[in-house]
Amino acid sequence: MNALSTESIAARVREAVPEAEVELIPNKGPSGQDSLLIGAAKAVEIAAFLRDDPELRFDYASNVTGVDWPERVVKERVTATEEVDGETKEGKKVVETKIPGFLEAVYHLYSMERKHGPLVVRLRTGDRENNVTLPSLTPVYRGAEFQEREVYDLYGIRFDGHPDLRRLLMWENFADYPMRKDYTPPDDYEYEPTPHDAVLEKAKRHQADDGCGKGDPA
């Protein structure tokens, strides 16, 4: 990223913001782009520090996106001992760990003044169903307004303190979140203005089911 490592930035945040929850998330991929997972309770205060600290000056949020992490099971082979005919024997067994699902809001921060970045900052919800509220960072990064709206629209994260939290791409009565990994597209494409290919075939079937099929849809 720059001379300041993500780990050193995490240390500066912990020192500057009392009771801040900050965890370094390592990236073992080719980019090696580690990130900071921050707690929601102090998120706005942490963001303000990242923006205003003279050495950091992360003054620009270039990108805000969402990530859906459904519940998953991680399998791990571990060494275990057991008693067999009065003897202690060592072997391998598979241990399964269930990891609850959650949603993430991910911010990429740059410093226009200091010419460094990106710093990747993550916020996580409590789950994917009931505890899906995170603090909006628009009080610190005003340009995040539309991007947080997009994350809300497509993933369902509710940003507390957002100045105008409305759906951005889908209509207000749309009932689901299209970027969720378990999202199932509806089979009814009546709203498709010019259906074509596979969508056209589905539209024809629905017209026939409704008893109003009169050839190809207009």
CATH number at residue 133: 3.30.460.80
Same domain, 147 and 213: no
Please check the confidence at residue 89 and state whether its pLDDT lies above 80: no
87 located within any domain: no
82 located within any domain: no
Same domain, 165 and 112: yes
Please check the confidence at residue 45 and state whether its pLDDT lies above 70: yes
Q: Please write the tens of the pLDDT for every residue from 161-177.
A: 999 999 999 988 888 99
Radius of gyration of the CA atoms of the chain, in A: 24
Please check the confidence at residue 148 and state whether its pLDDT lies above 90: yes
Same domain, 195 and 208: yes
62 located within any domain: yes
What does the buried/exposed string (b/e) look like for 169-207 if buried means 16 or more CB atoms within 10 Å of the residue's CB? eeeeeeeebeebeeeeeeeebeeeeebeeeeeebbeebb
How many folded domains does the chain comprise? 2
Beta strands in the chain (DSSP E): 22-25, 35-38, 60-69, 72-84, 87-99, 102-111, 116-124, 133-135, 158-160
Same domain, 212 and 108: no
Region of 152 (left: φ > 0; alpha: ψ -120 to 50; beta: rest) is: alpha
180 located within any domain: yes
29 located within any domain: yes
Q: Could you tell me which residue, 171 or 108, shows the higher pLDDT?
A: 108
107 located within any domain: yes
Domain of residue 200 covers 186-218
Q: Please write the tens of the pLDDT for every residue from 114-145.
A: 999 999 999 999 999 999 999 999 999 999 99
19 located within any domain: yes
Q: Which of 2-16, 31-45, 61-75, 95-109 has the lowest mean pLDDT?
A: 2-16
SS3 163: coil
Rounded to the nearest angstrom, the gap between the alpha carbon of residue 69 and the centroid of all alpha carbons in its chain is 8
Only one residue has tokens 């073992």, namely: 28
Same domain, 201 and 141: no
Q: Which residues contact 187 (CB under 8 A, 6 or more apart)?
A: 202, 206
SS3 199: helix
Same domain, 107 and 197: no
Joined together, the tokens standing for residue 185 give: 């597209």
Question: pTM, whole model, 2 decimals?
Answer: 0.80
Mean pLDDT of 71-93: 80
Cα atoms in the 13 Å half-sphere on the side-chain side of 98: 2
Same domain, 57 and 109: yes
Same domain, 213 and 124: no
Same domain, 180 and 192: no
76 located within any domain: no
Mean model confidence pLDDT for the chain: 88
Per-residue pLDDT band for 4 (boundaries 50, 70, 90) equals: confident
Only one residue has tokens 């169903």, namely: 129
Same domain, 133 and 180: yes
Per-residue pLDDT band for 218 (boundaries 50, 70, 90) equals: very low
Same domain, 143 and 201: no
Same domain, 118 and 199: no
Report which of 125, 150, 137, 119 is spatially closest to residue 68, judged by C-alpha positions. 125
Query: For 180, phi and psi rounded to 5 degrees?
Result: -65, 145
